Amino acid sequence: MHILRTSCFLGLFFITTTALSAQPDRVATGMYLMNVYDLNVSEYSFYADFYLWFKWQGERDPMNIEFVNAVEKWGFTSTPFHEESLEKPDGSFYNGMRAEGRFYHSFDLRRFPLDQHDLDIRIENVDYPLDELAFEAAPAKTLYRPDFVIPGWRILGARIDTHSNLYDTDFGEPENSGDSFSNFSFNLRIARPLSYFLLKLMLPLLVVIVAGLGALAIHPAYMDARISLPIGSLLSCVFLQQSYSSALPDVGYMVLMDKIYLLSYLLIAAIMLRVIRVGNIRKRSKDEDLSRLLTKDKRVAALGFVVFLAGVTALVAWG
């Protein structure tokens, strides 16, 4: 009986020891962003300059990492803080690096020019899978320098998080069923300034729309002047749309601003049809009938402007 109890105790101790040894090494990881520049939406990339550091217990050194979404790796630079990791009085180890390079980001432009993006920098350890090493976000007061700016963009904030990344492939080795690695991600949330949408895109378009609606305020007797205004507005809308479209990559969907311009085209088409209809009526109308038509057209113009603003508001809210 004594031998049986001893065997059970040793078996339980072995299982407990094995379970503890199977736990991955936890690596406290932090990042501090210095600069983001050459943000190129058309090429889906940006350059970043930042500090990255690790603090850990155990023999597994996390410094051999891969920047998962880095591009142009021939131009990537990283300088470690120390040639050998420092051992702290509490038995932990510490090291880090300053890195700079170009990173890929898939910009979703459906909400352009009110789009927001999470620029991310993702890292994984090359040597150890998730069951041996796991990153943890280290607490930090701030994640980027106080005077950090990206010209043409608003900084909404930053966060860091970790998750597992499964490579669901055997990499050509049938005995390899795929490994999961700990993934550390730094995310910087940015947005375009509201003034860009209101002053640079919407204000010129509103001027063009008002000019087109002005055709309905001209007396029906002046048919040439009436028809020339919506035609000029149509051409202006085409040029204005091309001016912002040239700065965007080719995408297979309509962005928010495209939908607003589609609404503009529909309104201008309605104005032209109204002008043509009134022109046909003018042939058989008297002067007092033309005055009534002019009064009605002014009301139609006011209604068209209100409908246009309501449509833009609805697209901004739900488009």
Asked if omega into 80 is within 30° of 0 (cis), the reply is: no
The hierarchical CATH code for the domain 195-318 is 1.20.58.390
Nearest to 52 by CA among 100, 9, 107: 100
Task: Give the predicted TM-score (pTM) of the model.
Answer: 0.86
State how far the Cα of 193 lies from the Cα of 290, in Å rounded to an integer. 47
Residue corresponding to tokens 């069923």: 177
Of 31-40, 113-122, 130-139, 170-179, the range with the lowest mean pLDDT is: 170-179
Q: Quick check: 77 pLDDT over 60?
A: yes
State how far the Cα of 198 lies from the Cα of 317, in Å rounded to an integer. 15
C-alpha torsion 162→168→174→179, nearest 10: 10
3-state secondary structure of 73: helix
Label the pairing between strands 133-137 and 25-40. Answer: parallel
Helix boundaries (H) for the chain? 2-21, 194-195, 203-213, 223-245, 256-282, 287-318
Across the range 183-190, mean pLDDT stands at 97
User: How would you class 62 by CB atoms within 10 Å of its CB: exposed for 0-12, middle for 13-18, buried for 19 or more?
Assistant: buried
Q: Quick check: 9 pLDDT over 80?
A: no
Q: Quick check: 10 pLDDT over 60?
A: no
Per-residue model confidence as pLDDT tens digits over 42-68: 999 999 999 999 999 988 999 999 999
When the candidates are 1.10.600.10, 2.60.130.10, 3.40.1160.10, 2.70.170.10, the CATH number that belongs to 24-192 is: 2.70.170.10
Which DSSP symbol is given to 216? G
State how far the Cα of 102 lies from the Cα of 37, in Å rounded to an integer. 9
State how far the Cα of 157 lies from the Cα of 179, in Å rounded to an integer. 32
Residue 255 is predicted with a pLDDT of 96
Per-residue model confidence as pLDDT tens digits over 240-272: 999 999 889 989 899 999 999 999 999 999 999
State how far the Cα of 163 lies from the Cα of 177, in Å rounded to an integer. 20
The pLDDT-based confidence of 112 (bands split at 50, 70, 90) is very high
Domain boundaries, the chain: 24-192, 195-318
The pLDDT-based confidence of 288 (bands split at 50, 70, 90) is low
State how far the Cα of 281 lies from the Cα of 273, in Å rounded to an integer. 12
State how far the Cα of 164 lies from the Cα of 14, in Å rounded to an integer. 28
